[in-house]
Chains A and B, each alone.
Chain A
Amino acid sequence: MGNNKRKSKASSNGRNSRNGSRSTAARVGAHASSAPERSSSKNGGSQQNLRTYNIPDYRLEHPQFEIRQLTGKDKQGQEHVLYEVSGDLDAPVPPIRDSKYLDQQQAIEIYRYMLLNRKMEIALENLYKQGKVVGGVYFGLGQEACSCASAYALDKDDWFAPMIRNQGSLLVRGFRASDTMMQYMAKADSPTKGRDGTSHFGDIEKRNMVSPISMLGDLIPVMSGVALGARLQGRNIAVMTYIGDGGQSTGVTYEGINFAAVQNLGLVLIVESNLWAYSTPSNMQYRCKDLAERAIGYGIPGVIVDGTDACQVYDATHEAVERARRGQGPTLIEAKMMRMKGHAIHDAASYVPKSMFDFWKKRDPLTRFENYLVKEKKWLSQKDNQALIAEVEIVIEAEREVAVNSPMPTPESAEGGVFCENGCHEIKPKYGIPKVKKGTAAYKETEAAVHLK
């Protein structure tokens, strides 16, 4: 298994412009642009129309892997197809990149949410082992920085929609750990009252969350529509959702981003490149080098961040959210990381080469952020850190108690609620009555087009 000797170098300011030649122009977020720039080639002629695009890259390392399907033999001489990885898997772990925006207190708050996220999932795993969970458990292990720091960049009036692994985002947006636990246990007091599990719930009243469905990509046009509705009511808001390197293969992903792009809606799409879609590696999902490049095709800014670095995720999301609120349209943020467990609890992920787990284990987002806060920045003393961890454990234990003690729903509660009727909801515009401008044109009486007859 040959190692890839090519090592990317971060530019002096820590940013690496994907096109190299214009690194000074590689500004992230607000200044990022997919607008083409005319090449200043002196050769003239055929190169006159060459266009270049910038994909700002926040990362401090640029790992390159190649994953291939190879046929190997087991001890009995039987042939099996398995995945093999090549690349610089011994590269040193880069530092956390200082945030341009986060202060000490905010950084610690994000760290606390990441801790809650991690400990909640450990509690879920235990509940599963105790036979208290209905169905499987999905984990965001290794992705906590991405979930928590991105959601942290949103304001109260912004909207979001998680995917299955963004259980941390829910905590940041004010849902309780017991909400998610009760969903997994199909309890009567779960947000869906037992009707759905996992992170599949929503709240359009207070927390502005749209429930995900299991089909991937469908949330993207939906969130674009939320931004459209708000804009018609006179508000530019940010609407954030996530998609994986597997989920982005769906057609509706394209439709949704493209709709947001042509309508200039404040979509913030976090593409969680976590390398494995169930058992399929990302190089069998797409051919381009980085998914952020897709932004060029949509005509929107795209940026790359290290998804295991909370500061990078926060900064890129913050800038995308600010753009959205200024009415400057959507942003695609590719967060590079790895799914550190199987697809769900039943899946041991034995298809993943062990060296990949080893590489990313050293990049554990929680450990890195803890070291950064405690050792590097000294924003959190060892003692305060231990106290914080203990506090989070107490919270999770209390939430677990609440969840476990909730009853199962009655069989009859399966009925009803299919339709909104008998005044169960009052529907009114969330951000105020749209101010409509009407033209002077009167009602037009026209014959129908003779399209088909």
Chain B
Amino acid sequence: MQLTYLEAIRQGIWEEMEHDPTVFCLGEDIGIYGGAFKVTDGFIDRFGTERVIDTPIAESAIVGAAFGASLTGMRPVAEFQFMDFIGCAFNQISNMVAKTHYLWGAPAPLVLRGPSGGYVHGGPFHSQNPEMWFVHNPGLKVICPATPYDAKGLIKAAIRDNNPCIFFEHKYLYRRIKEEVPQNDYVVPIGKARVAREGTDISVITYAAMVHIALEAAAILAKEGIEIEILDLRSLVPIDREAIAQTVKKTNKVIVLHEHSRTGGLAGEIAAIINEEAFDDLDGPIVRIAGLDSAIPFSPPQEHHYLPKLEDLVRESRRLKAY
């Protein structure tokens, strides 16, 4: 069945709620309204007001309550209306949820999910990619799917996981991409990358919406005889070191592409992993393509300038190929 990215997430959560009575949802406006992006549309009619809970506008309370419920063996799925607002609950996530298993051995099987990402002119408080706040925060799994198939398989895996998972849904992709998604029960393992396109010349290591920019660039570059390989990380924590090393060993040249700001971004970490795992295989410098080191601006021309673009990847690929 052809599903959009958003429908795939909805179906994944729906199926988990159908088969596991310990799964429930909480968040702002997720009930009768069905969520700001309608991910939980219709859930309250099916699963009732007890399992689909509209909360006050209180992100720390949402995370705290989800965490508390998880300690009793429930599997809460908490929605952030926009992932930008996850900052309001930062202490609860960073100091309470993430450290629990390490410090006192209590598992916290909960999912914090919501829309992130730019390209929709949401402005500085509705377009952010705050995943790195949590990558540098041991104890949390960080998941960033790029396709409907992965979105459904990964949200189901996150709900079944015994650890706190932060699930970033790229809002640009919600309704823009559609693909065949199996109707049967399946999960995509957390921590495994996927080769989105095979190639021989350059590895583009990326995730989420950037995967689709990379696919577009690949089509252009292929006409010039440059075959890029696209590695879709899918999970940032745990990160698939093996897949990173493998693609570098194959192409010997690397571009890391991500939407969030360059400094302290994931590209730096990937470059370090490549140094550790495949330094001798490199035939050129690791190239970073990333958002600017500023807040993400509102006005379309400014946002366009801030974010990585198709032409950036095409240009840098040509340059690196010639290196």
A435 to B101, CA, bound (A): 28
A292 within 8 A of partner (CB): no
A45 within 8 A of partner (CB): no
Q: Find chain B residues with CB under 8 A from A433 CB.
A: 21-22
Bitwise, B71-104 to A at CB < 8 A (1) or not (0) is: 1111110000000000000011001100111111
When the two chains form the complex, which single residue of B39, B72, B106, B109 contacts A431, counting CB atoms closer than 8 Å? B72
- Number of A-B residue pairs, CB cutoff 8 Å, is 215
B74–A221 touching, CB < 8 Å:
no
Smallest distance from the beta carbon of B102 to chain A beta carbons, Å?
5
B321 within 8 A of partner (CB): no
B199 within 8 A of partner (CB): no
B101–A417 touching, CB < 8 Å:
yes
A1 within 8 A of partner (CB): no
Q: Find chain A residues with CB under 8 A from B58 CB.
A: 221, 255, 258-259
B101–A218 touching, CB < 8 Å:
no
Q: Which of A204, A251, A435, A437 has the most CB of B within 10 A?
A: A204
User: Which residue of chain B has its CB nearest to the CB of A227?
Assistant: B68
When the two chains form the complex, which single residue of A418, A435, A449 contacts B102, counting CB atoms closer than 8 Å? A418
- Given A225-B65, A428-B73, A448-B37, A255 and B102 contact (CB-CB distance below 8 Å): no
Q: Find chain B residues with CB under 8 A from A214 CB.
A: 95
A49 within 8 A of partner (CB): no
A252–B74 touching, CB < 8 Å:
no
Smallest distance from the beta carbon of B285 to chain A beta carbons, Å?
33
- Given A420-B162, A449-B38, A436 and B72 contact (CB-CB distance below 8 Å): no
Q: Find chain A residues with CB under 8 A from B138 CB.
A: 418
Q: Find chain A residues with CB under 8 A from B210 CB.
A: none
User: Which residue of chain A has its CB nearest to the CB of B14?
Assistant: A443
B240 within 8 A of partner (CB): no
A425 to B92, CA, bound (A): 22
- Given A221-B60, A429-B22, A421 and B45 contact (CB-CB distance below 8 Å): no
B126 within 8 A of partner (CB): yes
User: Which residue of chain A has its CB nearest to the CB of B174?
Assistant: A448
Q: Find chain A residues with CB under 8 A from B175 CB.
A: 447-448
B171 within 8 A of partner (CB): yes
Binds A, one of B3-11, B215-223, B259-267, B269-277: B3-11
A229 within 8 A of partner (CB): yes
- Given A230-B72, A427-B107, A445-B7, A222 and B64 contact (CB-CB distance below 8 Å): yes
A288 within 8 A of partner (CB): no
A313 within 8 A of partner (CB): no
A448 to B91, CA, bound (A): 31
A232–B96 touching, CB < 8 Å:
no
A224 to B60, CA, bound (A): 12
Chain B 163-215 interface residues, beta-carbon cutoff 8 Å to A: 163, 171, 174-175
- Given A221-B65, A419-B139, A439-B45, A259 and B56 contact (CB-CB distance below 8 Å): yes
What is the interface residue range for chain B against chain A?
35 or more
B69–A255 touching, CB < 8 Å:
no
A70 to B42, CA, bound (A): 62
B47 within 8 A of partner (CB): yes
Q: Find chain A residues with CB under 8 A from B132 CB.
A: none
Bitwise, A205-225 to B at CB < 8 A (1) or not (0) is: 000001101110011111111
A452 to B108, CA, bound (A): 33
When the two chains form the complex, which single residue of B4, B50, B61, B67 contacts A255, counting CB atoms closer than 8 Å? B61
A430–B72 touching, CB < 8 Å:
yes
B124 within 8 A of partner (CB): no
A54 to B228, CA, bound (A): 72
A204 to B101, CA, bound (A): 12
A421 to B161, CA, bound (A): 9
When the two chains form the complex, which single residue of A219, A262, A418, A424 contacts B56, counting CB atoms closer than 8 Å? A262
Smallest distance from the beta carbon of A264 to chain B beta carbons, Å?
12
A225–B37 touching, CB < 8 Å:
no
A330 within 8 A of partner (CB): no
Bitwise, A243-264 to B at CB < 8 A (1) or not (0) is: 0000000011001101100110
A42 within 8 A of partner (CB): no
B281 within 8 A of partner (CB): no
Smallest distance from the beta carbon of B168 to chain A beta carbons, Å?
16
A258–B42 touching, CB < 8 Å:
no
B48 within 8 A of partner (CB): yes
Q: Find chain B residues with CB under 8 A from A221 CB.
A: 58, 60-65, 68, 92
- Given A258-B58, A259-B58, A420-B163, A225 and B69 contact (CB-CB distance below 8 Å): yes
Smallest distance from the beta carbon of A437 to chain B beta carbons, Å?
6
Binds B, one of A74-82, A87-95, A170-178, A188-196: A188-196
A383 within 8 A of partner (CB): no
- Given A230-B72, A452-B171, A225 and B162 contact (CB-CB distance below 8 Å): no
Q: Which of B36, B66, B104 has the most CB of A within 10 A?
A: B104
When the two chains form the complex, which single residue of A256, A435, A451 contacts B36, counting CB atoms closer than 8 Å? A451
B104–A201 touching, CB < 8 Å:
yes
A452–B72 touching, CB < 8 Å:
no
Smallest distance from the beta carbon of B198 to chain A beta carbons, Å?
31
User: Which residue of chain A has its CB nearest to the CB of B78?
Assistant: A225
A343 to B71, CA, bound (A): 31
Q: Find chain A residues with CB under 8 A from B53 CB.
A: 263
A192–B162 touching, CB < 8 Å:
no
A202 within 8 A of partner (CB): yes
A227 to B96, CA, bound (A): 17
Smallest distance from the beta carbon of B320 to chain A beta carbons, Å?
34
Q: Which of B41, B59, B68, B122 has the most CB of A within 10 A?
A: B68
B302 within 8 A of partner (CB): no
Chain B 1-56 interface residues, beta-carbon cutoff 8 Å to A: 4, 6-7, 11, 14, 21-22, 24, 34, 36-39, 41-42, 45-48, 50-51, 53, 55-56
A229–B103 touching, CB < 8 Å:
no
B70 within 8 A of partner (CB): yes
User: Which residue of chain A has its CB nearest to the CB of B35?
Assistant: A449
Smallest distance from the beta carbon of A203 to chain B beta carbons, Å?
8
Smallest distance from the beta carbon of B300 to chain A beta carbons, Å?
12
Q: Find chain A residues with CB under 8 A from B225 CB.
A: none
A210 to B67, CA, bound (A): 11
- Given A221-B61, A252-B61, A451-B37, A420 and B99 contact (CB-CB distance below 8 Å): no
Please list the residues of chain B having a beta carbon within 8 angstroms of any beta carbon in chain A: 4, 6-7, 11, 14, 21-22, 24, 34, 36-39, 41-42, 45-48, 50-51, 53, 55-56, 58-76, 91-92, 95-96, 99-109, 120-122, 126, 138-139, 141, 162-163, 171, 174-175
Known: A223-B68, A226-B68, A425-B107. 9 other contacts (CB 8 A): A200-B103, A213-B96, A221-B61, A225-B71, A252-B64, A252-B91, A256-B64, A428-B73, A448-B174
15 A–B contact pairs at CB < 8 A? A196-B103, A200-B103, A201-B104, A204-B72, A218-B64, A239-B68, A420-B101, A427-B75, A429-B74, A433-B21, A436-B47, A439-B46, A446-B42, A447-B38, A448-B4
